[in-house]
């Protein structure tokens, strides 16, 4: 049994994605996806697609607007463009995961200095966009399928100015921090572990351990006082109708 998990959990997938890399995993409806940082100051830019209908995908603006939130935290439901509930955030060691700034681009990596495969080989520094697109192409998808992501383990807040500037909170995620999602539909999960686009620290991205769990009844492990909204319930009911 993996440390920190309920005794009844069955581990189906257990894979560590190194910092600065990308990976794809399929998640069956009802199963739990656990992401955990293997080091400090990590970031996981995550895209979600219903595996049976990849024209649909995670809709971050609707997810936040419908549930009156500026960030992702338990017990929010991650919603699709068609109003389906894709997954519920059932627990987290952190009360804030960024969902407003998007994934990093090659230009964001310029601050770390030049890097190329010719000079760095497998240690070449790649943006989250490069990693995500590479994974999408393996699934028959591509750049046009990129959408607003959730940056798990990162926090961005409004700065105290009249322009509404966003401010990155360094050191928000620490080694061992975790988040769990319970899938409402069969999902394709694509993630990249490049640094957050606003993270100005040196290039030392932490890895992310990805665990897929079969958990009886998938209980909510959240200690959040945030109420579940009617919009969340409707999104999950829409997903249940798809499975019926």
- What are the pLDDT digits (tens) for 141-192? 999 999 999 999 999 998 888 887 999 999 999 999 999 999 999 999 999 9
Quick one: 217 exposed, middle or buried, by C-beta within 10 A (0-12, 13-18, 19+)? exposed
Instruction: Say how many CA atoms lie within 13 Å of 87 toward its Cβ.
Output: 33
Angle at 215 between CA 211 and CA 220, to 5 degrees: 95
Neighbours of 242 (CB within 10 A): 17
CA atoms of 189 and 181, how far apart (whole Å): 11
**Rounded to two decimals, what is the model's pTM?**
0.92
CA atoms of 2 and 68, how far apart (whole Å): 34
What's the rounded mean pLDDT across residues 198-204? 89
Q: Give residue for tokens 């319970």.
A: 182
CA atoms of 222 and 118, how far apart (whole Å): 46
Distances (CA, A) of 47 to 77, 98, 113, 158, 198: 14, 13, 27, 24, 19
pLDDT in tens, 10-55: 999 999 999 999 999 999 999 999 999 999 989 999 999 999 999 9
CA atoms of 180 and 165, how far apart (whole Å): 30
Phi then psi for residue 104, to 5 deg, are -75, 150
pLDDT band with cut points at 50, 70 and 90 for residue 125:
very high
CA atoms of 180 and 183, how far apart (whole Å): 10
Which of 123-127, 206-210, 240-244 ranks highest by mean pLDDT? 206-210
What's the rounded mean pLDDT across residues 81-98? 96
Q: Are 27 and 186 in contact (CB under 8 A)?
A: yes
Residue 205: both structure tokens together: 């991205």
């Amino acid at each position: 049994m993996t440390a920190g998990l309920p005794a009844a959990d069955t581990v189906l997938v257990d894979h560590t994605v190194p910092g600065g890399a990308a990976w794809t995993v399929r998640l069956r409806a009802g199963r739990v996806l656990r992401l955990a940082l293997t080091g400090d100051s990590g970031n996981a830019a995550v895209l979600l697609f219903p595996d049976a209908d990849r024209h649909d995908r995670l809709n971050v603006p609707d997810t936040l607007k419908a549930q009156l939130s500026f960030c992702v935290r338990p017990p929010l439901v991650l919603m699709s463009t068609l109003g389906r509930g894709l997954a519920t955030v059932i627990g987290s060691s952190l009360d804030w995961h960024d969902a407003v700034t998007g994934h990093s681009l090659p230009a964001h990596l310029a601050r770390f200095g030049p890097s190329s495969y010719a000079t760095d080989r497998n240690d070449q520094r790649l943006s989250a966009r490069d990693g995500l697109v590479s994974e999408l192409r393996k699934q028959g998808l591509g750049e046009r399928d990129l959408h607003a992501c959730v940056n798990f383990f990162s926090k961005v807040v409004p700065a105290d100015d009249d322009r509404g500037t966003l401010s990155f909170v360094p050191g928000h995620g620490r080694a061992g921090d975790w988040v769990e999602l319970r899938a409402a539909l069969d999902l394709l999960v694509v993630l990249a572990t490049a640094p957050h686009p606003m993270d100005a620290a040196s290039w030392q991205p932490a890895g992310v351990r990805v665990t897929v769990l079969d958990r009886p009844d998938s209980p909510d492990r959240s200690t959040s006082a945030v109420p579940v909204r009617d919009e969340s319930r409707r999104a999950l009911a829409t997903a249940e109708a798809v499975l019926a």
